Amino acid sequence: MLTYSPEKFASLYATDIGQQIWAFLGQPENIARLETASELRKPAVEGLEEQLLAKFRENVLADRVKQMIGHMVRQILEQRGWVLDQSDVKIQSVPFSKAARYRRVDWITFYAFRNTSDPRDVVITDRRQNPQLPDDARWSYYATFASPLKAAVAFGVDDIKQLRQQIYTQGFRRVRVERVLRRA
């Protein structure tokens, strides 16, 4: 069972709306929405915007209520094994204009760059800005990924610890991404 420590939101949490929002956020389908948005590397509350507006209407437009929702979401996700990835991520939406993004504890953000003359030649590194890449090709940014599953399926990387070590010592890891499906 999820527990909420309201801290600076104690007076708002004690109201009917505070109690209703906590109960709403704790519903299994809403937790699934928070986690799905997080898995997609989006701020968690993006997964609930429509549902919050449908259920609470203009009550969720007040800044203090939105702050409490963010506080509640953080505690829910942390109790389910997520950690803060980045705060104040801009959202062009209603009711939120910025929110926090979460990731799994074992997720590390990596950046992939493609060789401009051979798109199957890919380099993985831990930074997008000023990365240390091989000098024998021109590279263009290709993708960002964090989940070990994406690393394994898309890039053939099964050992994240080994990948991190190679990036630490060499600055990158070069992989060849072969085509999975061929035309008949």
The helix/strand/coil state of 109 is: coil
When pLDDT is averaged across residues 55-64 and rounded to a whole number, the result is 97
For the chain, the domains span 7-104, 110-176
**Separation of alpha carbons 181 and 184, rounded Å:** 9
CA distance to 91, 98, 160, 171, 184, per residue, from 103 (Å): 17, 17, 15, 23, 40
pLDDT exceeds 90 at position 183? no
* Residues of the chain above pLDDT 90, percent: 88
pTM of the model: 0.76
pLDDT at 143: 94
Per-residue pLDDT tens over the stretch 71-121? 999 999 999 999 999 999 999 899 999 999 999 988 889 999 999 999 999
When pLDDT is averaged across residues 134-161 and rounded to a whole number, the result is 93
Vertex 158 angle, CA 152 and 163, to 5°: 105
pLDDT exceeds 90 at position 140? yes
Strand partners, 179: none
Q: What are 96's two structure tokens?
A: 């939120």
The amino acid sitting at 94 is: V
The helix/strand/coil state of 9 is: helix
pLDDT at 1: 84
pLDDT exceeds 90 at position 178? no
